[in-house]
């Protein structure tokens, strides 16, 4: 068991050092949601007529409503960035070297996921602190209750990135695939507007939002920030993580997935 922990700590340490040396990545992860929070929130509020939103037996401003969605945005982009680093490691050969270690492949990939999640959680809490500086505050205990929600949602979104990285053969192809995944998942969710508002526009789009795993990640975070638990969202996030991670394991299996395709190419 000790060697498992040593390997996990080493992988997390490596990813943390990589993140520390990439300060632009940290700033980009904060600037993106802050722009949405400060600049675009006013426009969306005016366009959608959402001066106040009545979820969870209370009234909140639109800026407060989108904070959980922007937390999810940070984790979504971080999951894609982590998958980008995996594609880079595949091209450099370090990923193949890691997977040839005697430890189980699932443990090594899970360690990579946890390293990315730790980075995303740090980014989310810095964002929440900056948002509080703008006067956008949440229940005090919500900042504590949201930690396990961020862990689960980060694992699910990281597993999605891991799955994507197992299908990418060249680094140049990654940007297009990333945009194809990120923007539909983000905009077709409850990150920026509630489901009932989407239903006013289109029942089909409302159903797509309801089936979107990112919607349930956002709702899990949103309820946790208000010291509550959304059991349905928790179930969806856990199931999505299991599916994404299971498919990623197949993708990284030399007998079936990425490694075999690369040798064949």
Tell me the C-alpha distance between 203 and 232, whole Å.
Answer: 21
Looking at every residue in the chain, the average pLDDT score rounds to 78
Tell me the whole-structure pTM to 2 decimals: 0.83
Spatial neighbors of 233 by CB under 8 A, at least 6 apart, are 216, 217, 219, 220, 223
Residue 187: Cβ within 10 Å count: 14
Helix (H, G, I), strand (E, B) or coil at 52: strand
- Residue of 111, 95, 101 lying closest to 252 (CA atoms): 95
User: For 172, phi and psi rounded to 5 degrees?
Assistant: -65, -25
3-class secondary structure per residue, 150-162? HHHHHHHHHHHHH
159-190: pLDDT as tens digits: 998 888 777 766 666 667 777 888 888 888 88
76-126: pLDDT as tens digits: 988 887 777 766 666 665 666 666 667 777 888 888 888 889 888 988 998
Helix (H, G, I), strand (E, B) or coil at 61: strand
237-265: pLDDT as tens digits: 999 999 999 998 888 776 655 444 444 44
Q: Which range has the top average pLDDT, 12-26, 109-123, 212-226, 242-256?
A: 212-226
């Amino acid at each position: 068991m000790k060697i498992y922990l040593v390997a996990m700590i080493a992988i997390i340490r490596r990813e943390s050092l990589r993140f520390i040396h990439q300060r632009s990545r940290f700033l980009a992860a904060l600037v993106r949601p802050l722009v949405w929070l400060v600049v675009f929130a006013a426009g969306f509020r005016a366009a959608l007529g959402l001066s106040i939103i009545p979820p969870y037996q209370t009234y909140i401003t639109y800026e407060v409503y989108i904070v959980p969605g922007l937390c999810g945005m940070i984790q979504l982009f971080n999951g894609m960035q982590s998958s980008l680093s995996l594609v880079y490691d595949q091209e450099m050969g370090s990923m193949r070297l890691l997977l040839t270690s005697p430890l189980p492949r699932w443990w090594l990939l899970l360690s990579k996921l946890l390293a990315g999640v730790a980075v995303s959680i740090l980014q989310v809490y810095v964002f929440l602190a900056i948002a509080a500086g703008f006067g956008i505050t949440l229940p005090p205990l919500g900042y504590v209750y949201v930690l396990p929600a961020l862990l689960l949602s980060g694992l699910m979104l990281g597993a999605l990135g891991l799955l994507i990285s197992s299908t990418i053969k060249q680094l140049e192809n990654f940007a297009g695939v990333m945009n194809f995944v990120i923007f539909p998942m983000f905009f077709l969710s409850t990150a920026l507007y509630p489901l009932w508002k989407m239903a006013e526009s289109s029942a089909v789009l409302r159903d797509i939002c309801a089936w979107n795993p990112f919607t349930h990640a956002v709702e899990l975070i949103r309820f946790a920030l208000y010291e509550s638990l959304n059991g349905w969202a928790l179930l969806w996030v856990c199931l999505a993580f299991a599916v994404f991670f299971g498919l990623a394991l197949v993708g990284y299996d030399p007998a079936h997935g990425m490694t075999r395709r690369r040798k064949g190419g």
